[in-house]
Amino acid sequence: MNNQDTNFTEILYHQPGHLRGVNVIREVDGYLLTGGQDGRICIWDLNLEKELGCIFAHKAAITDIQKLENMDLIISTAWELDLKAWSLTDFSKIERPKAHISSIIGAKPLKGFIITAGRDEQLRKWIIKDGKFKLLSKTKIVTMSQILSLDNRLLISCQEGDKFIFDVESFKEGRAFFIKDSKVVKAIRKASKYLKDFEKKDPYALLFKISRRNGFPAIVSTITEDSIILGHEFGFVSIWKKDNLKISKVFFVHGKHITGLEIINNILYTTSLDSTISMFNIESSKIIKSINLTSKPFSLLKTSNSDFVVGLETGELIIFDTQLEKKGHHKEISLITGTAITPDNLAFALNSGHIVLLDNEDLEITKKQRIHDKNVLGLFYYNNKLISIGEDKRVVILDGDLKIIKEIDFKHKITNPRQIKHYISLTPNHVLDLRKDEIIKGEISQETDDEIERIYPIDFELIKGDIRIKIKNQILQKLEEKELDSLYKGKIVNSLRKLSKAKEKTFYKQQTKNIIISEKLKFSKDK
């Protein structure tokens, strides 16, 4: 919430969670941090019961989040050029625009340095000094696809399948290690007994397809006391000895790319683009249990509570115990596409076709109902009625409880609907007459449009799935004195007053334009 200018009251309604796929999950100081394709970094309690903060960090999909060693900072990267760091004490930002000349695929803190990798085939080493990122050195690595942290070492994986340990201090390639084709063939033969993807397929043909297309690049990794475990494309896992980097085992857990990899007591937990999460016994090389998920999992994390958090393509987050029994589920959120104020509620429309009512006293959801088959293009209020306009070319008139009063089918494509007095523009040549609930030919004059803008007491801003309402206090005061206005009646004025008071009761506070936090969020080991 923000009210820096007394001429305005700003109210923010925040939707906790992600609009699209969850690419990254990290645990930092007892909290879960999730990075999504919507550019958000969400901060949760370990049980996913409450989102405690949200950083609108990037304009593109998040590729990495990391806590810096011995510093109260996290760094974040996305499918864009900028490298950013965020303070865990006051959420101030350190930014290095154009850290690479192509999208950044990841960033890892090691030995006091920050290592970033980009699609420009550049590996770069940075430090933070005097509140700024300083570039120390850079080197070129062809077809680099992933950088993975292994204790105090860095593992580089390339599209050809090359993998090698990189020395961070000298900034030179270290020892390379490779997977033998014969081991992969044996693993395919074993997998064909329990993986339908490989049934009745020639292992040599599969091997040729895998190596010819992409080599054996690693996507994810984990480590044990004596082993490095890598999850690869095409669903297989390789295990390497730490001391000599020799391969000890290769096996297939899935038929598609592995996206997450964790281990507890010789039991491997994996997620894959085949939309499953699995438990795999490394000793017997057999799957213990496999659960079908509602969509593709993009990320997996074992928490300090020994739970497993899975981030899905839809933006959903699911938490499982060690037996893969579901413990919690945070569903995906939909983009808010329109909003209106009624005497009792703040109403908003979603791109899923739903309309949601929030009580103006406390901003709690009181009703949610699907009205359209497609995206809602606009939502308006007039004379005790809500008017919903959908991408399905339907105009739906509802009462205050979302019961349908009238439906109007419209044969033309509706573009950018706006309400001006008693009319809603549907196309440049058609308007909805709100006094008769009929569509007529005509257009709204610029003069009328300018007049409404001058006396309109509310501005709505739809930003990254949230609503920001700006109440113009001076205009509202004039409306209160008149009691009746050509646009609003006294009940609407009372509704705006309730919204202004509701902002003091809300769970979230707006720290800056890009950061929303709860007062309960304290990054400290003594929480």
Closest CA to 173 of 182, 163, 183: 163
Residue 329 has pLDDT above 50, yes or no: yes
Q: List residues bridging with 267 in a β-sheet.
A: 264, 281
Q: What is the DSSP string of 347-403?
A: EEEETTSEEEEEETTT--EEEEEE--SS-EEEEEEETTEEEEEETTSEEEEE-TTS-
Please give the Cα distance from 388 to 353 (Å, whole number): 10
- pLDDT tens digits along 134-143: 999 999 998 8
Which domains does the chain show, CATH number per domain?
A: 57-178 (2.130.10.10), 179-292 (2.130.10.10), 336-512 (2.40.128.630)
Q: What is the pLDDT of residue 494?
A: 80
Alpha helices, DSSP H, located in 468-526: 473-482, 490-502
| 12 or 478: which leads in pLDDT | 12
Contact partners, residue 149, CB within 8 Å, separation at least 6: 108, 110, 155, 221
Considering the chain, what percentage of its residues have pLDDT values greater than 90? 58
- Looking at every residue in the chain, the average pLDDT score rounds to 89
Contact partners, residue 209, CB within 8 Å, separation at least 6: none
Residue 526 has pLDDT above 60, yes or no: no
Residue 482 pLDDT level (bands cut at 50, 70, 90)? low
Q: What is the pLDDT of residue 484?
A: 45
- pLDDT tens digits along 55-64: 999 999 999 9
Please give the Cα distance from 329 to 47 (Å, whole number): 9
Amino acid at 245: L
Which CA distances in Å does 406 have to 299, 345, 351, 354, 377?
A: 45, 21, 21, 17, 18
Q: Considering Cα of 484, then 488, then 491, then 492, what sign does the dihedral take?
A: negative
Please give the Cα distance from 377 to 341 (Å, whole number): 16
- pLDDT tens digits along 145-192: 899 988 778 999 998 888 888 888 888 888 888 888 889 999 999 998
Q: What is the pLDDT of residue 489?
A: 61
pLDDT, average across residues 317-341: 94
Q: How far, in whole angstroms, is CA 244 from its chain's centroid?
A: 39
**Which burial class, exposed, middle or buried, applies to 390 when counting CB atoms under 10 A from its CB (0-12, 13-18, 19+)?**
buried
Considering the chain, what percentage of its residues have pLDDT values greater than 70? 93
**Strand arrangement of the beta sheet that strand 40-44 belongs to:** 22-28, 31-36, 40-44, 51-56, 515-518, 508-512
List the structure tokens of 95: 């930014």
